[in-house]
Structure 1
Amino acid sequence: MEQRTTFKFASFNLLNFAEPPYAFYQPEEMYSDTQWTTKTQFITGLIQHIDPTVIVFQEVFNPDTLASLCEDLGLTHFATVDSPKPDAVYSNVLFNPVVAIASKLPFKQCKPLEPSHELLEYLNNLAHFKFNRTPIKCTFELDGFGLLTLYAVHFKSQRVHSMAQLLGDPDQEDPFLTMLNQTVGAMQSQISRSLEASIVYYDALKTQREKNSATLVMGDFNAHITSPALSFMTEQFPVASESSLIESVGLYESFAIADNQPELGIKPPTHYFQGEGNVLDYILTSKEFSPRHPSSQVNSLTYHNYASHLDPKRDEEDIRYSDHAAIAIEITI
């Protein structure tokens, strides 16, 4: 009987992973000892259930604590490429959570994604661009599969930075300010998210072509993949011939090419807001992951959504758990 190898790649937004006595954003935003114990037990149990080969995380305020938790679960290779920032007055209050990656497999290389100078110049954003959360670009060599480049991302949220300073700090209840925040402010957030996605997309396609590397882009995209800010990432371009198809570059939404997609039907939500389900978390793949692609070595791809902790009726976040589902793809080669 032919021996099959299985790999599983997962993504999970942890929701403010900040170990006491550290707080997130405000001094009063801190876990009690009981809440923190519940949260770490929940995260540990879910990771054990997923049993990933590689997992990426978002909203990490305490990387060392997460690294220790992952090591106990056999995910002995761990990396971040940035650090949370402490408040200038209250040193235990942290801002700017980071993305992280943990793996059972060694990294060939793990580094921050450096935006292309030429692309930023083309987009007229050379002087001012900065990622809201620096993506991780990590490479692996998978037995029986080959070179893999993985991007761990957490794109700009839909949260709008107040435009009050433009108006001389008016009353926050000023209807004019509210209108500006809901229109111009929301558009600026979308532009920022789209720019971050463009930089990742450009680097992924360039690496595919130059390194002949399979690709995964994984994480919290903070918008639906069909939104105007992100839809280009899975645009499928027509090809001239069968040979050009085999050599083509691009990204696919993993759920769309999964073997179990027909039985799942509509893609399950990964986040709920005011009772409405949204898909914010994604794993995008290159052609090498599609079981139906002629150049693929993958025999099957299964999509998983781990959302039993989410309650669509809950109006407020339960910080003991997460407000996102974990997602994963499992491939056999």
Structure 2
Amino acid sequence: MTKPTRYCFASLNLLNFAAPPYSFYQLSEHYDETQWQSKTQFVTGLIEHIDPTLIVFQEVFSIDALKSLCEDMGLPYFATVDTPQLDAIYPNVLFNPVVAIASKLPFQQVCAFEPCPELLEYLNNQHQFRFNRTPVKCCIEIAGFGPITCYAVHFKSQRVHSMAHMVDGSEQDDPLLALLHKTVGTMQSQISRSLEASIVYYDALKTQREQRHATLVMGDFNDNLTSPALSFMTQTFPLQVNTHNRFDSVGLFDSFSFADNAHSFTQKPASHYYQGEGNVLDYILASQQFNPNNEASVLKSLTYHNYDAHLDPKRDEEDIRYSDHSAIAIEIML
């Protein structure tokens, strides 16, 4: 009897992965050598435990350090498509972390994800739009399964951009400013996140139909998938679409819904905690080819993992030696 072959796909928000002497966002925010050693030991230990075939990362400031770490962990194929920005006055202060992807298998192709110009025109946003963090789009191939198009994403955060410059004479404790941030600012954040997600969703479905690739959209979505900003990504298609032979493998689904072990959880485990409340912010969306119950699937099983041992729901402050997110992964057997 042939032994099943294991593959694993994972995502991890690294939380400010910036090697000394660099700081993140402001001069006072940085790692000392002991903290950085703890950070890299945490990341390497987690990767060793997960043993991913492919893993995507968010909040990467020190690209070369992460690339070297991944190579040491048996992930020689590594890609980023953007670089963090240096502060104009303090060159050791970094802004705009990037997403990265590392793999045991070679990339058939890898590139910065470029939005469809016609879609941007349709959305009346052709001149203004840019991703807050440029996604990585790549393709790998698994023997006996076929090509997989992967998107590594980190959608717009829920952080609100200040509107203080728009309110005359306002101070940070101005109640009007606080109200505007809670309403207009929050809505702007949701719109930005939804726009990013819709552009990736469009490309994923178009690629599925045209190239018949299995698909994974992986990363930190910064929102719950059931929120109005993101719920369209896993919506059920109308019957007339589902029965059309050109759409039999088109669509995205929360991979947790495919998992053989989903029943062992009372609910989907949180991947992030804020003020003691758990939220699911990190996702691996998958196409129908990853559903072991699909008649056309070659998968024997899919198992969902949530690596959250380092998270303490009661902790209010971030511990930069670790991450404020759990790692998530799906393990498939062929």
Using the size of structure 2 for normalisation, the TM-score is: 0.98
Q: Which residue of 2 aligns with 1:325?
A: 326
Q: Residues of 2 paired with 1:287 and 1:85: CA distance?
A: 38
Are residues 246 and 209 of structure 1, via their aligned partners in 2, closer, same or farther at CA, if it must alter by over 3 Å?
Answer: closer
1:243-280 Cα shifts (integer Å, max 9, x gaps): 64972410010011111001123100000000000000
The offset of 1:4, in angstroms, is 1.6
The offset of 1:178, in angstroms, is 0.5
Residues 271 and 278 of structure 2 are in contact (CA less than 8 Å); yes or no, is this contact kept in structure 1? Answer: yes
Q: Residues of 1 paired with 2:243 and 2:4: CA distance?
A: 28
Q: Does 1:158 align with 2:158?
A: yes
Q: Which residue of 2 aligns with 1:61?
A: 61
Q: Residues of 1 paired with 2:56 and 2:113: CA distance?
A: 15
Alignment of 1:93-112 (within 5 A): 93-112=93-112
Letter in 1 for 2:87: D
Alignment of 1:200-219 (within 5 A): 200-219=200-219
Letter in 1 for 2:297: S
The offset of 1:3, in angstroms, is 2.9
Q: Residues of 1 paired with 2:8 and 2:134: CA distance?
A: 24
Q: Which residue of 1 aligns with 2:252?
A: 251
Q: Which residue of 1 aligns with 2:30?
A: 30
The offset of 1:186, in angstroms, is 0.4
SS at match of 1:222: coil
SS at match of 1:52: coil
SS at match of 2:144: coil
Q: Residues of 1 paired with 2:83 and 2:42: CA distance?
A: 24
Gaps spanning 5+ residues in structure 1: where?
none
- TM-align CA RMSD: 1.2
Q: Residues of 2 paired with 1:243 and 1:257: CA distance?
A: 22
Gaps spanning 5+ residues in structure 2: where?
none
Letter in 1 for 2:307: Y
Residues 306 and 325 of structure 1 are in contact (CA less than 8 Å); yes or no, is this contact kept in structure 2? Answer: yes
Alignment of 1:275-294 (within 5 A): 275-294=276-295
Letter in 2 for 1:269: A
Alignment of 1:160-179 (within 5 A): 160-168=160-168, 170-179=170-179
Q: Residues of 2 paired with 1:28 and 1:107: CA distance?
A: 38
Letter in 2 for 1:126: Q
Q: Which residue of 2 aligns with 1:41?
A: 41
Residues 139 and 148 of structure 2 are in contact (CA less than 8 Å); yes or no, is this contact kept in structure 1? Answer: yes
Q: Which residue of 1 aligns with 2:199?
A: 199
1:291-325 Cα shifts (integer Å, max 9, x gaps): 01122111100000000000000011001100000
Residues 246 and 295 of structure 1 are in contact (CA less than 8 Å); yes or no, is this contact kept in structure 2? Answer: no
Q: Residues of 2 paired with 1:24 and 1:133: CA distance?
A: 16
1:35-75 Cα shifts (integer Å, max 9, x gaps): 11111111110110000000000000001000000100000
Q: Which residue of 1 aligns with 2:74?
A: 74
Q: Which residue of 1 aligns with 2:14?
A: 14
SS at match of 2:239: coil
The offset of 1:242, in angstroms, is 5.3
Q: Residues of 2 paired with 1:236 and 1:215: CA distance?
A: 17
Are residues 117 and 169 of structure 1, via their aligned partners in 2, closer, same or farther at CA, if it must alter by over 3 Å?
Answer: farther
Using the size of structure 1 for normalisation, the TM-score is: 0.98
SS at match of 1:94: strand
Which segment is superposed worse, 178-187 or 230-239? 230-239
Residues 249 and 289 of structure 2 are in contact (CA less than 8 Å); yes or no, is this contact kept in structure 1? Answer: no
Letter in 2 for 1:10: A
Q: Percent identity?
A: 67
SS at match of 1:105: coil
Residues 239 and 245 of structure 1 are in contact (CA less than 8 Å); yes or no, is this contact kept in structure 2? Answer: no
Q: Which residue of 2 aligns with 1:119?
A: 119
Q: Which residue of 2 aligns with 1:236?
A: 236
Letter in 1 for 2:48: Q
SS at match of 1:200: helix
Which segment is superposed worse, 60-69 or 231-240? 231-240
Where do 4+ consecutive residues of structure 1 move more than 4 Å? none
Q: Residues of 2 paired with 1:114 and 1:142: CA distance?
A: 25
Q: Which residue of 2 aligns with 1:260?
A: 261
Residues 148 and 214 of structure 1 are in contact (CA less than 8 Å); yes or no, is this contact kept in structure 2? Answer: yes
Q: Residues of 2 paired with 1:193 and 1:87: CA distance?
A: 25
Q: Residues of 2 paired with 1:99 and 1:216: CA distance?
A: 15
Q: Residues of 2 paired with 1:169 and 1:257: CA distance?
A: 54
SS at match of 1:237: coil
Q: Which residue of 2 aligns with 1:302?
A: 303
